[in-house]
Amino acid sequence: MKNILSLIFLTAIVMTGCSTKERSENPFLNDTYDTPFEVPPFEKIKTSHYMPAYLQGIEEQKSEIRAIITNKQEPTFENTIKALEYSGKLMTRVSRVFGSLNSANTNDTLQQLNKELSPILSKHRDDISLNDTLFLRVKSVYENHEKFNLNDEEEKVLEDTYKNFIRSGAGLSAEDKNKLRKINEELSLLSVQFGQNLLAETNDFKLIIDKKEDLSGLPEGVIAQAAQTAKSFKMDGKWVFTIQYPIMEPFLKYSDKRELRQKLFTAYFMKGDNDNDRDNKKIIARIANLRVERSKLLGYNSYADFVLERNMAKTPDRVKEFLGQVWAAATPVAKAEAAAQQELINSEGGKFKLEPWDWWYYSDKIKKARYDLDDEITRPYFKIDNVMEGMFYVANQLYGLEFTKRTDIPKYHPDVNTFEVKRNGQHVGILLIDNYPRPSKRNGAWCGAFRGQSRDINEKMITPVVTMVTNSTPPAADKPSLLTAYEAETLFHEFGHALHQLLSNSTYPGVSGTSVPRDFVELPSQIMEHWVLEPEVLKVYARHYQTGEVIPAEIVEKLDKASKFNTGFVTVEYLAASLLDMEYHSLTEPVEFDIHKFEMAAMDKYGLIPEIKPRYRSTYFNHIWASGYASGYYAYMWSEILDADAFQAFKETGNIFNKEVAARFEKEILSKGGTRDPLEMYIAFRGKEPGIDALLINRGLK
């Protein structure tokens, strides 16, 4: 009741307009930020500023919508579509900051505020998309678009706007619109709760070691990091391992203590499935069924049909066919990998069957025996600062971008590094990079923007402020952050998303940067991964953190030979999660859920071997329950068809930095955002459609 009364009180304030004092004290309520490049002034933003700014933003956008629907003139692109596209400026400003910080630097107050805001924002979105008068104006412009002499981008904005209204329920009856509103509100709250439960579960578990013998097999750097983690929890003299992936993964890879590997893996695997107050099973069941109801209401057979209509894949059957092709190629490879590990276990006198918590340990042993290579050999050459220099070097060679570290620009956490991006001396944008795990940050890696690229209503360029977030291995007491090759790939991957934002050259915010179909958005990120281990690039950035020695040629050769190692496992665990996503979202009717039985049936259906678990189980599958990837987790693999083929465009010239190919990639893909059909963009770049062969070869499956 207290929260509701506070909202009513705040709404009353906003309805009467904010005073000059309130505007001066709340950074969001000023027209501009008084900071370099108008980066949000994080040190001045207080939690108490968000709600008034959101409520003021809602009222301002309502006023803008009223102006559109009460306009007596005939609907045109200018007075309807463009006016709608540029409405909600304050809403966008506050939501970009709140959303980013709630993911990367949250706290209890922000999480509670997120719960309070969720139904308010859901109602506001529905008030716009279900407004009959507004839709009729949009429909009129759409049906008479020939009259307006629109350019290609304007045609795409118009088409997207009209379809978004249809897909949001604009054509429903009043009764069905009311049903849709209730479903949308509940879904928004459930997604918030899922994410908060997952963060709490991740932060809750600690594997505490107080005996040195239990550290057997662990490298010195991993032990030092565990000691520092223990110290951060006021457990001096002990060693702590969490289920944050960069901390968990080396333990699973090196620990000789099988029972401890099992304990840590099980804690990770059971996140959100512990029958406590953070359990996610009922939330998942409810979300899945509500999505079915929502899809049926909108005229679709399933949620997957609804989502995929806007993606490159178009239909669930096409996605399943594609995943099935890769599954058929990868499963025999994974089985052979499992057999090799079991043979090693037997040869060492182990009288047990290979289990999922054994995979990292024994596959690493085989890798070391086969290639004389493991992560501890390469880590010293992958100091995180040097890896970032490497990705900046690649961007400079390809696109002429220059990155200068700035210390005068606001940042939301001390871990953040801030860079100004220029080309030919001209400002391009700002890039904030946040690399290390902490309790206030959710798992994974992502890229967003505090301000997206676009042009304002007067055609003035608005440059982007991009944020790139990872959970990389943190520095230890006596060592800097030293990455695995996989973590280096993750940095390059997110940097690819950042380049998509930085090099965007659109007019309208709704189609700029990464505003593209889900199964196309990973192309710019995944193509960047191809440069990470190229010898020509390694020589530039892979330098020993103590001696400065460039990574030896023999290690580069070993990296190349080992690049296809364990790809059966990596591919199958990813595909298993993708297929689980599709099984949930291909449902055509609500069902009574037993999450465990559903998962088991889905994996049995495709023949997942017991030694491998899906990369994400249902109860911690944040991508599909709280991050917009529902019916879309397959997109990483789909985009790999594109990125594997696209990188060949460079390789075929004999120059991985070919300026002509890079210019074409920027012109036809990076700069275009969502202004054109993605397949048309790809063909304009490559001259042909991609095939699956490049993907299979890239993964060593053919």
Asked if 492 and 391 touch (Cβ cutoff 8 Å), the reply is yes
Q: Which residue type does 395 have?
A: A
In this model, does residue 2 exceed pLDDT 50? no
Q: Quick one: CATH architecture of 2-171?
A: Orthogonal Bundle (1.10)
Q: Which of these ranges, 87-96, 290-299, 477-486, 618-627, has the smallest mean pLDDT?
A: 477-486
Average pLDDT in the chain: 95
In whole angstroms, how far apart are CA 346 and each of 343, 351, 474? Answer: 5, 7, 36
Asked if 511 and 163 touch (Cβ cutoff 8 Å), the reply is no
Residue 674: exposure state from Cβ atoms within 10 A (0-12, 13-18, ≥19):
buried
- pLDDT band, very low/low/confident/very high, at 15 (cuts 50, 70, 90): very low
- pLDDT band, very low/low/confident/very high, at 669 (cuts 50, 70, 90): very high
Q: Which residue type does 82 have?
A: K
- pLDDT band, very low/low/confident/very high, at 11 (cuts 50, 70, 90): very low
Number of residues assigned to the chain: 702
Question: What pLDDT, in 10s, does the model give residues 396-433?
Answer: 999 999 999 999 999 999 999 999 999 999 999 999 99
Classified by CATH at the fold level, domain 380-567+665-672 comes out as Neurolysin; domain 3 (1.10.1370)
401-405 and 417-423: which strand pairing? antiparallel
Active site residues: 494
Q: Is the dihedral of CA 19, 24, 25, 30 positive or negative?
A: positive
In whole angstroms, how far apart are CA 547 and each of 139, 543, 551? Answer: 66, 8, 11
pLDDT of residue 18: 56
Q: Which residue type does 434 have?
A: D
Q: Quick one: what percent of the chain has pLDDT higher than 70?
A: 97
Residue among 664, 310, 629, 671 at smallest CA distance from 511: 671
- pLDDT band, very low/low/confident/very high, at 702 (cuts 50, 70, 90): confident
| Beta-bridge mates of residue 421 | 403, 429
pLDDT of residue 16: 39
Question: What pLDDT, in 10s, does the model give residues 542-600?
Answer: 999 999 999 999 999 999 999 999 999 999 999 999 999 999 999 999 999 999 999 99
| Beta-bridge mates of residue 434 | 469
DSSP H/E element including 240: strand 239-241
pLDDT of residue 278: 97
Question: What is the Cα–Cα distance from 257 to 458, expressed in whole angstroms?
Answer: 65
Question: What pLDDT, in 10s, does the model give residues 55-81?
Answer: 999 999 999 999 999 999 999 999 999
461-462 and 454-455: which strand pairing? antiparallel
Domain with CATH 1.10.1370.40 in the chain: 2-171, 380-567+665-672
Q: Is the dihedral of CA 391, 394, 399, 400 positive or negative?
A: positive
Residues whose CB is less than 8 angstroms from the CB of residue 268 and which lie 6 or more positions away in sequence, other chains included: 205, 243, 248
Question: What is the Cα–Cα distance from 183 to 297, expressed in whole angstroms?
Answer: 10
DSSP 15-59: HT---HHHHHHSGGGSSS-SSGGG---GGG--HHHHHHHHHHHHH
In this model, does residue 252 exceed pLDDT 60? yes
Q: Which of these ranges, 82-91, 472-481, 666-675, has the smallest mean pLDDT?
A: 472-481
Question: What pLDDT, in 10s, does the model give residues 500-513?
Answer: 999 999 999 999 99
pLDDT of residue 23: 63
Question: What is the Cα–Cα distance from 245 to 444, expressed in whole angstroms?
Answer: 8
Question: What is the Cα–Cα distance from 580 to 425, expressed in whole angstroms?
Answer: 48
426-434 and 465-469: which strand pairing? parallel
In whole angstroms, how far apart are CA 652 and each of 507, 645, 655, 661, 674? Answer: 34, 10, 8, 10, 28
Question: What pLDDT, in 10s, does the model give residues 257-299?
Answer: 999 999 999 999 999 999 999 999 999 999 999 999 999 999 9
pLDDT of residue 478: 84
Question: What is the Cα–Cα distance from 165 to 127, expressed in whole angstroms?
Answer: 11
Question: What pLDDT, in 10s, does the model give residues 199-245?
Answer: 999 999 999 999 999 999 999 999 999 999 999 999 999 999 999 99
